[in-house]
Amino acid sequence: MKHLYTQENFEQAKVTDLLPVQCETCNRFYSISKKRLYGILNPKVTRETGQYCSKECRKKGQNVTCKNCNTVFYKTASEIKKCPNHFCSCSCAATYNNTHKKHGTRRSKLEVWIEEQLIVLYPELEIHFNRKDTINSELDIYIPSLSLAIELNGIFHYEPIYGKDKLSKIENNDDRKFQACLERNIELCIIDTSNQSYVTPKTSQRFLDIVCSVVNKKLMISRA
């Protein structure tokens, strides 16, 4: 949305005064009253959906490309205004958002506690926690500068707690992670945490010690 007036012009203008703006569809310059412009700038108050010079421009749209599958499809101007990210379907939107989300939604107390400790112990390292953007699958811990990934695998990775089908899916996902890391020259360290009955700092310390041991070894190699 392009405006051809200053903030001072806007504040000094009366509600009926006309201010110069630019159409969002055809880019033609036209004038609009301060009262109506206020509505466009505050859509939650007046439900105005955009800045258009005519009803025709308000209805017009354009071809856009789906961010997930690259399909070209048509969106109206109001649809583009409401949702600047373009997805051709709900399925594509879900796939893209799950792949590019920054943090996982299901995290164990152990993972959260270890993250808190590592941030303090290694302030100089960039450490990613529960992100999917490296191998298109969630890694519990990933340190880009060391090409090191660490997985904290609880009992769900080894026992059919929710049935054999669920365990099979988890095992297949673990295999895909291993292969993806191998293809990208990422060292993957898997730590079995299945025998931890209760998560407390005391019972978690041994797993933190293992993580730190692996990280320190990689740091020594990188600095040699």
Euclidean distance between CA atoms 118 and 214, whole angstroms: 12
Number of domains forming the structure of the chain: 3
Residues 216 and 133 in one domain: yes
Q: Same structural domain for residues 55 and 65?
A: no
Reported confidence tier of residue 217, pLDDT bands at 50, 70, 90: very high
Lowest mean pLDDT among 74-88, 112-126, 165-179: 74-88
- Specify the pLDDT at position 153: 95
Q: Are residues 148 and 198 in the same domain?
A: yes
Among the ranges given (21-30, 77-86, 189-198), the one the predictor scored with the smallest mean pLDDT: 77-86
Q: Is the pLDDT of residue 189 over 90?
A: yes
Asked if the model's pLDDT at residue 103 lies above 50, the reply is no
Q: Name the pTM for this structure.
A: 0.54
Phi, psi (5° rounding) for residue 221? -65, -40
Give residue 68's pLDDT band: very low, low, confident or very high (50, 70, 90): confident
Please check whether residues 114 and 169 belong to one and the same domain: yes
Q: What is the C-alpha to C-alpha distance for residues 20 and 92, in angstroms, rounded to an integer?
A: 39
Question: If you write DSSP's letter for every residue of 132-156 in order, what string do you get?
Answer: -TTTSS-EEEEEGGGTEEEEEE-GG
Q: What is the pLDDT of residues 116-129, one digit of tens each?
A: 999 999 999 999 99
Look up the CATH number of the domain holding residue 148: 3.40.960
Question: 193 and 174 in one domain?
Answer: yes
Close Cβ partners of 26 (under 8 Å, ≥ 6 residues apart): 53, 57, 60
Q: What tokens appear for 37 in the block?
A: 């412009």
Q: Are residues 79 and 120 in the same domain?
A: no
**Cα–Cα distance between 192 and 152 in angstroms, integer?**
6
Q: Tell whether 120 and 52 lie within a shared domain.
A: no
Range of the domain at 69: 60-100
Give dist(CA 125, CA 216) in Å, integer. Answer: 12
